[in-house]
Structure 1
Amino acid sequence: MRNVLEYLEHSAREYPEKIVAEDINRLCSYRELLENAKHIGTSLAKIETPGKPIAVFMEKSVEALTAFMGIVYAGCFYILINPEQPVFRIQQILQVSGAECIITLNHTEEILLKAGFTGALNSYQELLKNDINEERLQQIRDQAQDIDPLYCNFTSGSTGVPKGVLVSHRSVIDFMEYFPSLFSISKEDIIGNQAPFDFDVSVKDIYSTLKVGATMVIIPKKYFSIPMQLLDYLCEKKVTTLIWAVSALCMITQLKGFTYKVPEAVNKVLFSGEAMPIKHLKLWQKYLPEASYVNLYGPTEITCNCTYYRITREFELEESLPIGRAFPNEKVFLLDEEDRQVTTPGQIGELCVSGTALALGYYNNAEQTRKAFVQNPLNPLFLETIYRTGDLAYCNEDGDFCFAGRKDFQIKHMGHRIELEEIELIMNSYPDIQRACCVFDTAKNRIAAFYVGGLEGKAIQQKMQESLPIYMIPTVFYSLPELPITANGKIDRKKLLAQCSVTSGKI
């Protein structure tokens, strides 16, 4: 197998009239998705060369999914650009990608013109009008390789310019050959898509669906701020599988959504992106005790995830979940500051990954690629590329990896090295706090804590003295109605840091 379209083609043969995807506006069968993708692929093959980037300027939808598959039929790779992003960000993505062809929907051209785009704008509906040219599509497929790019997702860059993580067909195929079967995802499942299509969590939704012949329900973004509407939708659609960001799961429990309704069809809950607060996990387990729960870990650069941990026991509030063990065909290991392998349980090192699932690098950014994708220092004998995650971890006595913070979240305060996640773990264990996040305000040389909950800052500070040394206790506390969330569903630490300089907290 060397092309992800083989998943779609197989399922379309097996289940032609089955619904492959639906959003709030329309349903799409496997047969319809296959045929429309071929129409689009034929149209694009007339105007773009295989191997080139093509941007999809849409919100997540059935049309966006169809555009993705059409782009792949044309031998190109897709980039989802969300129209809700700031014009400057869109401009940056277009500049880095060099995309000269964009598929649009619902007359969004004005935003692209503001972003300085001068290439070809292609209406989704117009692309569907060309007759399918099976011969041309087969010529493109015959020339393709499994290492050809499939998609490019843009993440934040330390230089202020977004980095495009370029992922090949082979990497997705390698991951998907194991992912659905490991977690019993089958054609009987209805996958509730939470992640934006420009975030790699959605890759698990899309390609698990196509591989096994399942159905994907694309949940509107707005529902994730209205728990009653979200739960109604999950129940109405009989969703069985959630592959969600931690923040999305916590939103339901933080706002006491389960006291309104429980989505009883849900039997698999897989989460990633941040540390899952145990109090929120316990609430999910309380209301859905028969469901399986899995903690997933992995940055975008290694194609979705590299480790997983099945939750098979009760955890105490002050505990943190392990990130578990490596997926099949991936090597996960720790390096110390001298690039020596860490093998002692409890000893912290940087988490590194090698394997077929590694991305091709950062598109049009050789310098950043060379920094992150490097030769394995443990292997001087032949080429073995690894990705240095920048995450710290250790192995516990059971042999599971445990996340120990980001290198860049490790601060030095009052002469001590401190992991901000350790402080957050303590705060999140308090019954009266729903969610907490800490940042280091370098301008004022202090740790600031942001939280949702009923406690006063002074009470939290006093309580933390029972567990933490004084130098680890935040000096200022900000009580918020909710924590800001990034487009990818993670806590927006940059926004919290900016808030330190404009808002007065309480001590």
Structure 2
Amino acid sequence: MSLYSPVADAAARTPDAPAVHDLTTGLTYGELDARADTYLAALRGRGVRPGDCVLVWTDKTTDAVAVGQAVLRCGAIHVPLPRSNPRERVARIAADARPALTVTDHGEHVPGLLSVPCADLYREGAHGPYAAHASPHPVRPADPAYILYTSGSTGSPKGVCLSHGNALAFVDWACRELALTAADRLANHAALGFDLSVFDLYAGFRSGASVHLIGETLAQAADPLVGFLLERRITVWYSVPSAWVLMAEYGELLERGPGALRACVFAGERFPLKPLKDLRRAWPGVRMLNWYGPTETNVCTSYEVTAADLARTGDIPIGSPAAGDTVTLDDGEIVVSGPTVMLGYWGGTPQDGPYRTGDLGRYDADGLLEYRGRIDDMVKVRGHRIEPAEVSGVLVAHASVRDAVVVVAGTGLDARLHAFVVPETGWAPEIAELRRHCARSLPPYMVIDALHTVRGFPRTANGKVDRAALGALVSSGVGV
């Protein structure tokens, strides 16, 4: 079994069934299968061979999906990059991945790279000498399938390389967990270079369902997103929590209802407790799942949110091991071993043994794993070790606070805890009250020193809270 098999299998069973739609175009499984073979012929004509990297720097379209399928059928390694990546970052990634070919759907090329537009590639595949020999290259589960580039601690992007087997271990588990069928309609909110898309595309294709691509511009627009959910009759939606909060606060999500939705899945960051409870209370018939896992492991734990969680006063757990993985704690650090753990960082040494996530965790009274922040977020303030996530959790428990992020500014004796707070509607939280609230649950050295009231938090390209940007605001004094 490979990541390209599901499309071919679905095309043989139900060629006229819808496979993938972008905002303007749709392809059936038969059409997607044929288009992938056409691109495969063109890739071979361009000299792409098994084991080569192919960088796909495009908008989120049906053609981008077909090219990705063709790369896998070639036995090559798919390197998806969203169109929003600036040319300078693409150049750094290309220097690391050393692709045999770059496929684009726009006029901007990176100097020194062999590039070809999608339209030209399709034309070459349809009329070239390889068109009659488009059978896929056989792959093994351990063969590399794709590389996802994430922000590296050194300041340069690092490529997380995963195999066909890594992805399928997660995909097969997810299909069973959500009982996916050909009748499902999956939204693809995340960028194609973000690991959440692995579920959207490959679990969708594995089950013969249809996948509906949300473009990068639409992904940040609350009202159109809710319209997309309802008009496309989406049954399964997987995204970062901030997308759900955006739709609820500015798109009247709860008032307009879930439509055909039967499963709401989120990952990538903590879901603020109050908006989560609002969603759980409003949609009693929709399953809600919290998935956890870094890109290096995809999803490795899962927790289902139920009505019982309405009584919670702290963050929900990240749950129990998933997808055949084993998840343990080593001096508080979450450590993952099992079939979803990556092959390694591209260009580095292969991953050997369990993967140390750098995330902190602990078990609750029911034996479920709780996320406690990052080891590298742990700071010292006036000689005391502090996990900012613990302070944020206490702040959110206050009636006036809808969400909160805590950052540290300064060093040594000048280090201070700064709280960025999104208030509940109609509230104006005061620092004196929040300091008293913190003091009831935290030691004195963890009580906040400064309060900044904001409408929302800056986000990274993947939708996570940009803590570095918050820290920079404190340092500059702009907007705080």
Instruction: Give 3-state SS (helix, strand or coil) of 1:119's partner.
Output: coil
Q: Do the aligned partners of 1:17 and 1:29 also contact (CA within 8 Å) in 2?
A: yes
C-alpha contact 1:457 1:478 (8 A) present in aligned 2 = no
Where does residue 339 of structure 1 map in the other structure?
none
406, 411, 416: which one aligns with 1:446: 416
Aligned position for 1:153: 148
C-alpha displacement of 1:350: 1.1
Q: Does 1:118 align with 2:92?
A: no
Deviation readout 1:92-118 (Å, 9 max, x if unpaired):
111111124111113233xx2xxxx31
Could you tell me how far apart the structure 2 residues matched to 1:396 and 1:260 are? Answer: 34
Residue 260 (structure 1) shift: 4.8
Letter of the 2:26 partner, please give it: L
In the alignment, is the contact (CA less than 8 A) between 1:279 and 1:317 conserved in 2?
A: no
Residue 23 of structure 1 contacts residue 218 of structure 1 at CA under 8 Å; is this kept in 2? yes
Distance (Å, rounded) in 2 between the aligned partners of 1:167 and 1:391 = 20
CA shift at 1:452, angstroms?
Answer: 2.1
Preserved contact between residue 220 and residue 243 of structure 2 (Cα < 8 Å) = no
**Is the 1:437–1:451 contact (alpha carbons within 8 Å) kept by the matching residues of 2?**
yes
Task: Give the alignment's Cα RMSD to 1 decimal.
Answer: 2.0
> Per-residue deviation at 1:416?
2.0
Match of 1:310 in 2: 304
Query: What is the match of residue 345 of structure 2?
Result: 362
Q: 1:493 matched to which residue of 2?
A: 467
Structure 1 residue 505 displacement after superposition: 7.3
CA shift, 1:504, in A, is: 5.5
Matches within 5 A, 1:276-355: 276-302=271-297, 304-312=298-306, 313-316=308-311, 318-336=313-331, 349-355=332-338
The one-letter amino acid of 1:122's match is V
Tell whether 2:415 aligns with 1:435.
Answer: no
CA change 1:317–1:222 in 2 (3 A) is farther
State how far apart, in whole Å, the 1-side matches of 2:279 and 2:429 are: 27
Partners of 2:478 and 2:429 in 1: how far apart? 14
Corresponding position: 1:484 with 2:452: no
Aligned to 2:91: 91
Q: Which of 109, 118, 121 is matched with 1:127 structurally?
A: 121
Report the counterpart of residue 371 of structure 2 in structure 1.
403
TM-score (norm: length of structure 2): 0.93
User: Is 1:61 aligned with 2:35?
Assistant: no
Match of 1:469? 443
Is the 8 Å Cα contact of residues 440 and 448 (structure 1) preserved in structure 2? Answer: yes
How far is 1:135 from its partner? 6.8
Any unmatched runs of 5+ in structure 1? 337-348, 375-384
Q: Which amino acid aligns with 1:106?
A: H
CA distance in 1, matches of 2:435, 2:61: 46
Partner of 1:187: 182
Q: Following the alignment from structure 1 to structure 2, what is the Cα–Cα distance between the partners of residues 504 and 108? A: 34
Give the whole-Å Cα distance in 1 for the aligned partners of 2:216 and 2:479: 31
**Within 1, Cα distance between the matches of 2:14 and 2:402?**
44
Alpha-carbon distance in 2 for matches of 1:457, 1:79? 48
Question: How far apart, in 1, do the equivalents of 2:402 and 2:12 lie?
Answer: 47
Greater displacement, 240-249 / 198-207:
240-249
Alignment CA distance shift 1:86-1:496 (3 Å): farther
Gaps of 5+ in 2: none
1:328 Cα deviation from its structure 2 partner: 4.0
Given candidates 227, 232, 252, the residue that maps to 1:232 is 227
Q: Give 3-state SS (helix, strand or coil) of 1:487's partner.
A: coil
Deviates more, 1:57-66 or 1:247-256: 247-256
- The answer to whether the 8 Å contact 2:22/2:213 transfers is yes
**2-side partners of 1:491 and 1:426: how far apart?**
18
Aligned to 2:380: 412
| TM-score, length of structure 1 as denominator length | 0.88
CA distance in structure 1 between the aligned counterparts of 2:452 and 2:403, rounded to whole angstroms:
12
Aligned-pair CA distance for 1:134: 7.1
Contact 1:253/1:283 (<8 A) preserved: no
Q: Which residue, 360, 363, 366 being the options, matches 1:392?
A: 360
TM-superposed deviation, 1:470: 2.5
Secondary structure, aligned partner of 1:221: coil
Distance 1:192 1:446, change over 3 A: same
Deviations 1:225-265 (A, max 9, x none): 33222111111111111111111112123336235522321
Distance in 2 (alpha carbons) for counterparts of 1:438 and 1:483: 11
- Between the aligned partners of 1:505 and 1:226, the Cα distance in structure 2 is 23
* Amino acid aligned to 1:428: V
Question: Bigger CA drift: 76-85 or 253-262?
Answer: 253-262
Q: Secondary structure at the match of 2:137?
A: helix
Compared CA separation, residues 86 and 108, structure 1 to 2 (3 A)? closer
- Aligned 8 A contact 2:268 2:464 in 1: yes
**Which residue number in structure 2 is paired with residue 33 of structure 1?**
32
Q: Is the 8 A contact 1:277 1:429 kept in 2?
A: no
> Helix, strand or coil for the counterpart of 1:388?
strand
- Whether the 8 Å contact between 2:401 and 2:429 is mirrored in structure 1 is no
Are 2:23 and 1:24 aligned?
yes
Q: In structure 2, give the amino acid aligned to 1:452.
A: V
Q: Is the 2:299–2:323 contact (alpha carbons within 8 Å) kept by the matching residues of 1?
A: no
Q: How does 1:254-269 map to 2 (within 5 A)?
A: 254-255=249-250, 257-258=252-253, 260-269=255-264
Letter of the 2:428 partner, please give it: L
Q: Does residue 141 in structure 1 map to residue 141 in structure 2?
A: no
Secondary structure of 1:300's aligned partner: coil
Answer yes or no: is the 8 Å Cα contact 2:169–2:323 preserved in 1. no
Answer yes or no: is the 8 Å Cα contact 2:316–2:370 preserved in 1. yes
1:23: Cα distance to partner? Answer: 1.3
